Amino acid sequence: MFFKSTAAAAAVLLFAIMFMVNDAIFTSAAPANPLTAEWTGPYGGVPPFDKVKVADFKPAIEAGMAERLAEVEKIAANTEPATFENTIAALERSGSMFDRVMTVYGIWGGGMATPDYQTLQREMAPKLAAFNDKIAQNEALFKRIEAVYNSPAKAKLSSEQERLAWVYYTNFVRAGARLDAAKKNRLGEINQSLAGLFTKFGQNLLAEENGQWIVVKDEADLAGLSQSLKDAAAAAAVSKKVEGAAGIILNTRSSVDPFLSDSTRRDLREKVWKMFINRGDNANQYDNNAIISEILQLRAERANLLGYKTHAHWRLENAMAKTPERTLELMETVWPAAVARVKEEVADMQALADKEEAKITIEPWDYRFYMEKVRKAKFDLDQNEVKPYLQLDKIRDAMFFVAGEVFNFSFTPVTDVPVYHPDVTVWEVKDKTSGKHVGLWYFDPYARDGKRSGAWMNAYRSQERMDKDITTIVSNNSNFVKGKPGETVLISWDDATTMFHEFGHALHGLSSNVTYPTLAGTAVARDYVEFPSQLLEHWLSTPEVLQKYALHYQTGKAIPQALVDKIKNASTFNQGFATTEYLSSALIDMKLHLAGSSKIDPDKFERETLASLGMPKELVMRHRTPQFAHAFGSDGYSAGYYSYLWSDVITADSFGAFTEGKGPYDKAVGKRLVDYIFSVGNTIDPAEAYRKFRGRDPKVEALMTKRGFPVSK
């Protein structure tokens, strides 16, 4: 998740109105003292995390905004004819202080959201939205951008410069640059209101995730759990200062999903499941339903002001899909096969439960538990048999190995840069052949209070070479539950896949080789940004990775080939569940935003729409509406959650370029991948970039095959 994601990406305010920003890339604030200064230190300068205090943020944001507005006004007031250099390039050079401040501010929002920070966040959100609008609605500035875009001299620009001019022109138009004064004023009011609502939505969700848990009292409550899960529950109880209990199950996916898979206590599975799926929907001070309804109304009004039928039509105009109708066509092509597979999966689970005389009907809190039983019965594969071979640190090293083989990168730990939390580690990235510094990679793996749930990638600094070479700084962030001090952290196969996914976003940023920062790295169309990250997931299961890095945490022995074969044979197992829980969220997201100005009761809309789609009763949306941060924590993935499926069509098709060649480590194909996909950022239309890599457009059949669904003839 640029936000998986990410996806982005996500409970942080995204400033995508002016610039094409990846959901995974979050920039944020810091005040005058350390935060307004140029970054100093090694590697071209690094964020001064060791000096940051929440009290510094507000003055730094205000100073950054003032400087940026002064720079913009100077560009707009230039009496010389508008040129690429004095207008577009000048805008690229402006706002450096603001960008630095907002980077640190965003990092705090995602990983260090203390109560005093959240108070500041609520105050600054509408002010930042107003600041963005002041630039986007600057009439004199837009006229200069428009003049460059329409100038006959544009033919003399490089292809990258021409693309950048198009990006600026298009984003200003889409942000209301052509509206009259009254409509601009109303648009500003809407954007400020939305900024406040996004912040409140994210803070409500964080409060429920950090403030709710299920206590497991004794050994009987831990029945079925592996020792590593028991230790994690005990460590979580210590972190929350819960005494007199065997442990607690935190209200995060990385804690909930393993419990639902392993616990033999059906009563506790139900409690844990209900806690998790009701986040933001508990009719308390953190309930998000009214906020969602207001967000939808404001988005619809904004779209109409800007001349679009719905928010979905506005959001998709610059995406690969172009129209909501195309996304629905894809989703509705896959949906029937996914639902049909769910019915088969449930039938298998029910038959097994009946055979065991469990005397139950499969309910949503049973799905993961019986899914594992069926996996064991059908494929002789137990996920707890796999987990001892998946050590967090070893999977991280496996990612480095793949980056070395496919991208020619090396990773070396460094200790000479400050971090914002003791859990964070930093690695220098170099080109293996030349030894040239490429960038820095920060890794923040563990859950804690004040950190939003999920996994995501951030870009702290974009690569560019306008005036000099500036290297990138990126991070990956997860929410694994720590065990006892010094104890090996074991993760699931799904967790390992997610790590590779988010690392794909990081490699997209690290591979960037462009001139202008607005076009760098992951700043591509929303429904294209998940393609590089989803593609990297394929390397986890390669023999080269498993034999070297899937090592038993006690014996150090490599995962047995027989177990690898079982994993491969079961690769399409449970795709009904995985696809349907995701697709239901994507369909609800799109249909909510196609409803226009209709007054929406989110719970009712979700319930009735899922019923009309034939949603199986044995599972729920991956992200129920009141906790759907992708859609309501920002504009980032709103009417855009379909992107993961759209990107996976490209992913499935593109991996064929490797399998049709010499395999996943084919150097020639890997070079094409870097040259045409990972390094070019937004300097080229993504559809054209893909055709250069693959030689043709992607085919949906590859996706159906990947997921084990029947392919229409």
**Count of CB atoms situated within 10 Å of the CB of 363:** 14
Q: Which residue bears the tokens 């009004």?
A: 301
270 and 159 in a common domain: no
Distance of CA 443 to the CA centre of its chain: 15
Are the C-beta atoms of 204 and 280 separated by less than 8 Å? yes
Boundary residue ending a domain (277, 293, 317):
277
User: pLDDT grade, residue 8 (50/70/90)?
Assistant: very low
Q: Domain range for residue 239?
A: 212-277
41 and 155 in a common domain: yes
Give 476-500 as a 3 state SS string. EEEEECCCCCCCCCECCHHHHHHHH
User: pLDDT grade, residue 33 (50/70/90)?
Assistant: confident
219 and 88 in a common domain: no
Mean pLDDT of 396-412: 98
In a domain, 251, yes or no: yes
135 and 267 in a common domain: no
Boundary residue ending a domain (183, 204, 225):
204
Please tell me the distance from the alpha carbon of residue 244 to that of residue 217, in angstroms, as a whole number: 8
Q: Phi, psi (5° rounding) for residue 460?
A: -80, -30
Mean pLDDT of 556-585: 95
226 and 268 in a common domain: yes
Q: Phi, psi (5° rounding) for residue 113?
A: -80, 75
Q: Which among 84, 85, 81 is positioned nearest to 149, based on CA atoms? A: 84
pLDDT in tens, 315-370: 999 999 999 999 999 999 999 999 999 999 999 999 999 999 999 999 999 999 99
Element holding 152 (H helix, E strand): none
Crossing angle for the helix pair 289-305 and 575-594, nearest 10 degrees? 60
User: pLDDT grade, residue 314 (50/70/90)?
Assistant: very high
pLDDT in tens, 424-467: 999 999 999 999 999 999 999 999 999 998 999 999 999 999 99
* DSSP secondary structure of 203-228: HHHHHHHHH-EEEE-SGGGGTT--HH
- Model pLDDT, residue 14: 33
Please tell me the distance from the alpha carbon of residue 700 to that of residue 711, in angstroms, as a whole number: 9
Q: Which among 590, 621, 607, 605 is positioned nearest to 338, based on CA atoms? A: 621
Q: Provide the number of structural domains found in the chain.
A: 2
pLDDT in tens, 49-76: 999 999 999 999 999 999 999 999 999 9
Please tell me the distance from the alpha carbon of residue 540 to that of residue 497, in angstroms, as a whole number: 7
Pairing of strands 437-446, 472-480: parallel
In a domain, 710, yes or no: no
Q: Which among 12, 173, 107 is positioned nearest to 461, based on CA atoms? A: 107
140 and 228 in a common domain: no
174 and 246 in a common domain: no
Element holding 43 (H helix, E strand): none
Amino acid type, 470: I
Between 23 and 110, residue with greater pLDDT = 110
Please tell me the distance from the alpha carbon of residue 63 to that of residue 32, in angstroms, as a whole number: 7
Is the per-residue pLDDT at 17 higher than 50? no
User: pLDDT grade, residue 713 (50/70/90)?
Assistant: low
Handedness of CA 358, 216, 272, 385 (dihedral sign): negative
User: pLDDT grade, residue 20 (50/70/90)?
Assistant: very low
In a domain, 242, yes or no: yes
- Would you state the structure tokens that stand for residue 100, as one six-digit string? 């630095």
Are the C-beta atoms of 386 and 567 separated by less than 8 Å? yes
126 and 43 in a common domain: yes
- Model pLDDT, residue 32: 52
Is the per-residue pLDDT at 604 higher than 90? yes
Q: Which among 183, 26, 176 is positioned nearest to 113, based on CA atoms? A: 26
Q: Which among 404, 424, 426 is positioned nearest to 416, based on CA atoms? A: 426
User: pLDDT grade, residue 690 (50/70/90)?
Assistant: very high
Alpha helix segments (H runs only) across 139-288: 139-150, 159-174, 181-211, 227-239, 253-262, 266-277
Handedness of CA 186, 190, 195, 200 (dihedral sign): positive
In a domain, 85, yes or no: yes
Please tell me the distance from the alpha carbon of residue 279 to that of residue 452, in angstroms, as a whole number: 13
Please tell me the distance from the alpha carbon of residue 13 to that of residue 192, in angstroms, as a whole number: 11
User: pLDDT grade, residue 99 (50/70/90)?
Assistant: very high
Instruction: Measure the N-to-C terminal CA separation of the chain; round to a whole number of Å.
Output: 33
CA neighbours closer than 13 Å in the CB half-sphere of residue 49: 20
Pairing of strands 409-414, 425-431: antiparallel
pLDDT in tens, 569-580: 999 999 999 999
183 and 38 in a common domain: yes
Please tell me the distance from the alpha carbon of residue 556 to that of residue 558, in angstroms, as a whole number: 7
Q: Phi, psi (5° rounding) for residue 633?
A: -85, -10
- Model pLDDT, residue 421: 97
Please tell me the distance from the alpha carbon of residue 211 to that of residue 125, in angstroms, as a whole number: 24
Please tell me the distance from the alpha carbon of residue 673 to that of residue 693, in angstroms, as a whole number: 6
186 and 48 in a common domain: yes
Mean pLDDT of 220-247: 94
In a domain, 226, yes or no: yes
Please, which residues bridge with residue 46 across strands? 40
Q: Phi, psi (5° rounding) for residue 410?
A: -120, 150
Boundary residue ending a domain (173, 204, 235):
204
CATH number at residue 77: 1.10.1370.40
550: which residues sit within 8 A by CB, 6+ positions away?
Answer: 389, 390, 394, 398, 558, 559
- Model pLDDT, residue 28: 42
In a domain, 383, yes or no: no
Are the C-beta atoms of 432 and 408 separated by less than 8 Å? yes
Q: Which among 60, 129, 43 is positioned nearest to 97, based on CA atoms? A: 60
Catalytic member of 62, 428, 502, 618: 502
Is the per-residue pLDDT at 692 higher than 80? yes
In a domain, 81, yes or no: yes
Q: Which residue bears the tokens 């995602």?
A: 110
pTM summary value: 0.91
In a domain, 516, yes or no: no
Is the per-residue pLDDT at 16 higher than 50? no
189 a catalytic residue: no
* DSSP secondary structure of 356-371: TT------HHHHHHHH
Mean pLDDT of 158-181: 97
Is the per-residue pLDDT at 80 higher than 70? yes
Are the C-beta atoms of 39 and 48 separated by less than 8 Å? yes
136 and 48 in a common domain: yes
158 and 243 in a common domain: no
Please tell me the distance from the alpha carbon of residue 626 to that of residue 592, in angstroms, as a whole number: 13
- Model pLDDT, residue 53: 95
**Rg from Cα positions in the chain:** 25
Is the per-residue pLDDT at 97 higher than 80? yes
- Model pLDDT, residue 30: 39
| 3-class SS of residue 411 | strand
